Chains A and B, each alone.
Chain A
């Protein structure tokens, strides 16, 4: 860091920015710790029934006892299904968007179908998927794909169609082919749209996987949550929810990392 050459006012300003940032993080930590502490204390004093609400220390114990509940295995299953669903959903979505960009006719024809499919709650298709695909991992992955693919198609297609007309004209003056237009202009111009849709998709795929696991699975965090609920093991339910939160956070972080890499 160069320190000389920075004016007093600048230093003051930078300090203020730093302070502000620190304050926000501290407040966030405080809220979290405070919430956990109050929860723990209330449960200890029997103000709330820890059988129904569980309590942080018991969640921690469950968490430390990873092996007894096979938490690691269940987490792995969920992560695996989510990543596969996310990957396939994104690839399929982008591929369909490209096809629809290519053919204005197909795009017009499919528009009402896409709009209806988009507003349809995909969970409602769960039983149909189970019958068609079979009850197992593939049904769960199908659910994750279904839930993310339509949004991806709509968002990417919208981005592709809105590519700067002037830039397209510029490329046309060099007599570029449609394929060149796609690979050299339309796709790179929509990297931002693509990353946004990745961000949305990672969450949606998790929703798909968990609701799929609710319906059919024999493993996974969704299964644990349902199972825990049925046998009133609230510690297990809460722990699974927290792990799910952590997993979601890490996956989102992964997308952010990818964004940094792509934008470089």
Chain B
């Protein structure tokens, strides 16, 4: 079976002084190994919450998560997570930043350090390993953050609006970069974004969440029938605007 993740009947209620909020309800979907799935939805629909639940950072009120057919509770070492900001530690140099996860997990072995160094070499960061984050550009910093996440060899990568803090031009370049890294390393990815075109340009499938309480409204298969697909050449493909229109309507931005 090449299914890597199953999200089953996930529900989430928040409690606060004002009362109860049902953020997610009956969320079901599966992800295949190596697949790239984007999740979009109106703001406040709970898409980031969903990602946090998959990562084990937040508790769910209902449902189960299976990774490689094993039921997961709490933070799983099979899942890597990237946030909106790169969250590099300014007081550590680049190498030390990329080794952070290994250090926390207590697996900073010679072999793993070598692996990280290989990644840094492969993605043109090796010359900067003794520099500090403040000396790097936004795009490079995001690449360092990705390598920090990949260092612990996750089976699934979760991207939570991971590019939205970057300016437009950098963003396009970084998406291009990160996409190619993820494809080369064959990493299964789930990306939450508010940007429809970003979702289409990278994903094999796009999940559309409804308004709160968020639940899966529709799943769209994205297929540009291209070899060597990259986010930029997807954007230039004639099918792109068709997908865009379709998802735009699906999101129901105009609806009151």
Contact = CB atoms under 8 A, between A and B. Distances in A.
Nearest to A173: B81
B55 interface: yes
Interface of B: 55, 57, 75, 77, 79-81, 83-85, 87, 89, 91, 100-101, 103-105, 149, 152
Interface string A118-133: 0000000000000000
Contacts of B79: 173
A191 interface: yes
Contact of A174 (B83, B84, B89, B105): B105
Contact of B104 (A167, A184, A191): A184
Contacts of A166: 83-85, 87
A174 B91 contact: no
Contacts of A171: 100, 104
Contacts of B55: 173
Given A172-B75, A174-B100, A175-B104, A167 B152 contact: no
Contacts of A170: 81, 83, 87
A191 B91 CA distance: 10
Contacts of B152: 174
A162 interface: no
Given A170-B87, A171-B104, A173-B55, 18 more contacts: A166-B85, A166-B87, A167-B89, A169-B57, A169-B87, A170-B81, A173-B75, A173-B79, A173-B149, A174-B100, A174-B101, A175-B75, A176-B104, A180-B104, A185-B89, A188-B89, A189-B89, A191-B91
Nearest to A191: B91
A167 B103 contact: no
B112 to A, nearest CB: 13
11 contacts: A169-B83, A169-B87, A170-B87, A171-B100, A172-B75, A173-B149, A174-B100, A175-B104, A184-B100, A184-B103, A189-B89
Interface in A174-210: 174-176, 180, 184-185, 188-189, 191
A59 to B, nearest CB: 46
Q: How large is the interface on A (under 10, 10 to 19, 20 to 34, 35 or more residues)?
A: 10 to 19
Contacts of A164: 87
A175 to B, nearest CB: 4
A172 B57 contact: yes
B57 A173 contact: yes
Nearest to A181: B104
B105 A188 contact: no
Nearest to A185: B89
B91 A188 contact: yes
A164 B89 CA distance: 11
B77 A167 contact: no
Contacts of A167: 87, 89
A138 to B, nearest CB: 38
Contacts of A174: 100-101, 104-105, 152
A173 B80 contact: yes
A173 B80 CA distance: 7
A167 B86 CA distance: 9
Contacts of A175: 75, 77, 104-105
A180 B101 CA distance: 11
B59 to A, nearest CB: 13
A181 to B, nearest CB: 9
Contacts of A169: 57, 83, 87
Contacts of B91: 188-189, 191
Contacts of A188: 89, 91
